[in-house]
Structure 1
Amino acid sequence: MSFLVMTILTALLTALILGLSLLRGRKTREPAAAYDLRVYREQLASVDRDLARGVIGEADAERVRTEISRRILAADAQMQAGTKQAGAPLWATFAAFVVIAAVVIGGGIEMYRQMGAAGLPDQPLSLRKEQAEALRADRPSQAEAEAAAQPAELPQLDESYANLLEQLRDTVAERPDDLQGHILLAQHEANAGNFPAAYKAQKRVIELSGDAAPADAYSHLAEMLILSAGGYVSPEAEEALKQALQRDPRHGPAQYYLGQMMVQIGRPDVGYRIWVDALRDAPAGAPWADAIHAQLDELAFRAGVFNAPDIPSPAASGPSQEEMDAAAALTPEERQEMIKGMVNQLSERLASEGGSPEEWARLIAALGVLGEGQRAIEIKNEAMEVFAGNAEAIELIDAAALQAGIAQ
């Protein structure tokens, strides 16, 4: 039996119950005069009992009997006059029943027509899981997705930067086994918005790294594949994410994209669980954690979760309000020089005095923004030595390296 038929029958049953309640009320309702008669008769009996106990005298008892008898006669006359059928007339009761039935049944059908999915077949959980697995197995490949995606408009590069990028391409083409060259090429192709070239260079990075390729390398490859396909997680990108999670099961960016893939194949429930797990271990300032927070409420609704845990976003360190106000008053050239000066000061302090993992991560990310990839790589390697054995610090540094585009 379809859901629509069951809905109509449920509404009809509800209307019948309400209608029977109205009719039963008419049958069991008695006029007010009948209730008065019972009260007066009880009062007469009470007078006789009081007289027998000597509570009142004969004269008082007779006077009270006379008054009660007068009221009994009046109530009886009222009933004899045909006023015993109190309440609304029969036609009004049936009219009320018709209105109730029309509102419950007709209103329910109209709401379902507007908000429901009339004609949609039943979709049990087992069927939806089978459909999701079928969609996952038969979804388009990376090449098909790139062919179907709308070509992205590449940003206009500064002439000097474009020339340097072209020189880097030529150098890497002449030195196909240069690991560091391919790392830089993948980073700068991504910075230029040329994601297909970026993931090709990243594949070569993984080939040259062999078994030593870290989780970040595969996560970066997956990200470039996904961006090349317009946000679609292809089977090739999924395989790269699996490789990243095999090396680091708590790798945040890989968990983010894997959850995104689950949503795309119709499993928001699995995607929601993956994202919640990722948030619990998110380092401060991780960009992928902010992306999860922005979409988590909607995903929880789609997953049928109405008691979602409140996972606060990790606090990210950054400039003070005074520094931001001062930077806003500068020209772009002055602002760039100020940023470089702050980065150099931080770098010198960390080199001489050391610092927290958050400060090292902030320096790596800032160098990536400034385009100083080689220097960022050197700082990252130094930080990895400083915090060797500290899993939380290493994860924070890896996240900053991913943000800077040097996650190798």
Structure 2
Amino acid sequence: MIFWILATTVMLIALFTLYYAGRGDGVNALGNSDATREHFKAQLAEIESDTANGRMTESEAAAAKGELAREVLRLQAEAGGKPVRPLKQPKSLLVLVLLVVGGGTFAVYTTIGAPGLPAQPLEARAIPTAAPSVDVPQAIAAVEAQLAANPDDARGWSVLGPIYMQSERYADAVTAFRRVLELLPVTADAETDLAEALMMANNGAATGEPMQLLQSAAARDPQHIRSRFYLAGEATRAGDYEDAIAQWQALLALGTGSEPWVETARRGIAVAEAGLTGEAPPEAPVVTAPDTDQQQMIEGMVEGLSARLEAEGGSIEEWTRLVRSRLVLGDIPAAQAAYDAARLAYPDAALRTELDAMAQNAGLE
């Protein structure tokens, strides 16, 4: 009700202003104020009064009137020429126009406006930050259809490769990453992506093409952490302990000491040093192959993911996969560290629903 009272009051003020302006009053023939016009009338009356009382002769009165006329003409010239009486609009037409304007305004507002909408505090108007749910299979199908029509779309293959990896479709990921290498300039990241996909497709085996790709990536970028991490782990697994120690130490030199993969690198050095002396590793008994190979490759994959997320960031799904992998390996402190990093990267709890639920079930803080 208050809204309509205020709206009506404002409308009436606006209509009255338009009505007053449309009447054409308030402008005199000289283009000057009413006070100026009254001044000239008073002077003319005074001349006539003096003539009637004998204080001024007829010739003097004529001269005074002529001077007054010249003053009027001068003011008219300054006002832009001959005086023009303002054109007054017929009042009936003016009232009709104003009624149409006012009635049309209210009719339009009542049609498209929302006068009954209650007031909302500014804080309650915040746009929700939760991302809409995405149908992953449908999204994959859409990208695949696009690539079927345009197989040289490098961006599409770049998007599809990581999705295949997250969906554990490793053979498809290999195809996607190969296309990326064929269509885009070769980078250390692209070579390492393909090496990871090949290793996962071959149950963790790094021999052959994966090793060649990792060596090429490390040579292409001497500070590339992911490829060097895999190479150091493979040297440790293969029993080339001197080379493993050198590679682990070179890897540690690239970090600041606070990265999540640093502890694994230090354990790798300890294992290699123990291998050189023929002693058991200081933190774990010697485990016979092939379980040792498989475990080390799994840990290598997890550390590679951790290094990439730490250095470059990633999606919430990748952080969730990292925390889950740490929990599967039984490394609770590393899982907690990964969860803390994920919360820093994604402070909006609405985006971490799955991750928070998993962390709570695992007893993470």
Q: What is the TM-score normalised by the length of structure 2?
A: 0.39
Mark the structure with the bigger radius of gyration.
Answer: 2
